[in-house]
Amino acid sequence: MHWVLPVLLAVIGVTALLVVTPVSGYRPWPYLKPNSSDLMFGGSKKFEGSSEFVHLRYHMGPVLTANITIHPIWYGRWQKSQKKIIREFINSISAVDSKHPSVAGWWKTVQLYTDQTGANISRTVLLGEEKNDRFYSHGKSLTRLSIQSVIKSAVTSRTKPLPINPKSGLYLLLTSDDVYVEDFCGQVCGFHYFTFPSIVGYTLPYAWVGNSAKLCPGVCAYPFAVPQYMPGLKPLKSPNSDVGVDGMISVIGHEVAELATNPLVNAWYAGQDPVAPVEIADLCEGIYGTGGGGSYTGQLLNDKDGATYNMNGIRRRYLVQWVWNHIVSYCTGPNALD
């Protein structure tokens, strides 16, 4: 059982002239009842495979048509095994030889989106240089503004700074399970935006995703963990034996897909307000397989050891949310184009 309420992120005043408003807040677990009237498009951005209320439009901004390079920033303490799961997911996005249904097949839906010249989003997503911040240089409690400061530290470091790549680089801040980020668990599990030159020195598309294993696995690692207030609902077995990281994978996929199609919040989205856009992954929250929508995840796959997944990577299996296919006007996964 699965239903969701996507959240319009709170606006934070930095100064009288500077406002930080990450536009996409992803939360894969509900606080609505199935079939609630709040599941109408205007209330929650969620509906079940119908295009009747969808007005996804291209607003003429750039999308990522050049080869995409993702630069992870590992904030806090991370195990080698955890990093490996996430690295292999990123590498799987372009791994066309993976067994079907594949992560690469899922990315083909994202590739359908174009810029104003008709150029498609790149099929190539690369794992770039990485930065470790294992000593919590900005503390264990981050605000939306301090997230940009963490990125600044990573790209301006005296030793091995991350490369500056505004046109095709994505900066992925990953916080460990002992780090709290503003609105984490209560409202969001991840979001994306772009950095301000006044803070970082450059305009760089970025996303933050947190490891919820200690703070709120029942909220952000569903269906591999379930909330305590839902007795009797059994969690599914995670495909890589790490509930927190396996829960992060779908959030990472969600944010990377939206960064590729709406990096500066002026490209592909539905709704009238660019501060609170409905993006290609928002339209499919809670849908992981055929028939998904409302309170049902859709048809999933089970490994021989009982783990649940819906996509194959290079050497691993993952559970990743589907994304909106604007050609056919409904959510699709790897089966549609794989």
Q: Which amino acid belongs to residue 162?
A: L
**Residue 244 to residue 56: CA distance in whole angstroms:** 32
Spell out the residues 6+ positions from residue 97 whose beta carbon is closer than 8 angstroms to its own: none
Residue-level pLDDT at 228 = 81
Per residue in 81-130, pLDDT tens?
A: 999 999 999 999 999 899 999 999 999 999 999 999 999 999 999 999 99
Q: What average pLDDT does the structure give for the chain?
A: 85
Residue-level pLDDT at 27 = 59
Buried b (16+ CB within 10 A) or exposed e, 44-81: bbbbebeeeebebebeebebbbeebbbbbbbbbebeee
**Residue 41 to residue 6: CA distance in whole angstroms:** 10
Q: Which amino acid belongs to residue 199?
A: I
Residue 280 predicted with pLDDT over 50: yes
Per residue in 135-178, pLDDT tens?
A: 999 999 999 999 999 999 999 999 999 999 988 999 999 999 99
pLDDT band at 279 (very low <50, low <70, confident <90, very high): very high
Strands (E), the chain: 12-13, 19-20, 24-26, 57-58, 68-75, 125-127, 131-133, 141-142, 169-175, 180-181, 190-194, 205-210, 268-269, 301-302, 308-309, 311-312, 317-318, 323-325, 330-332
* Domain boundaries defined on the chain: 56-332
Neighbours of 296 (CB within 10 A): 17
Give the torsion through C-alpha atoms of 75, 144, 320, 284, to 10 deg. Answer: 180
Residue-level pLDDT at 30 = 40
Strand 311-312 relative to strand 308-309, pairing: unpaired
Nearest to 71, CA basis, from 4, 139, 165, 150: 165
pLDDT band at 55 (very low <50, low <70, confident <90, very high): confident
**Residue 50 to residue 256: CA distance in whole angstroms:** 24
Neighbours of 86 (CB within 10 A): 24
Q: What are phi and psi of 123, to 5 degrees?
A: -80, -15
**What pTM was estimated for this model as a whole?**
0.87
**Looking at residues 40-67, what average pLDDT do you find?**
64
**Residue 129 to residue 171: CA distance in whole angstroms:** 10
**Residue 274 to residue 289: CA distance in whole angstroms:** 29
**Residue 308 to residue 237: CA distance in whole angstroms:** 6
The answer to whether 107 and 254 are in contact (CB under 8 A) is no
Per residue in 198-257, pLDDT tens?
A: 999 999 999 999 999 999 999 999 999 998 877 888 999 999 999 999 999 999 999 999
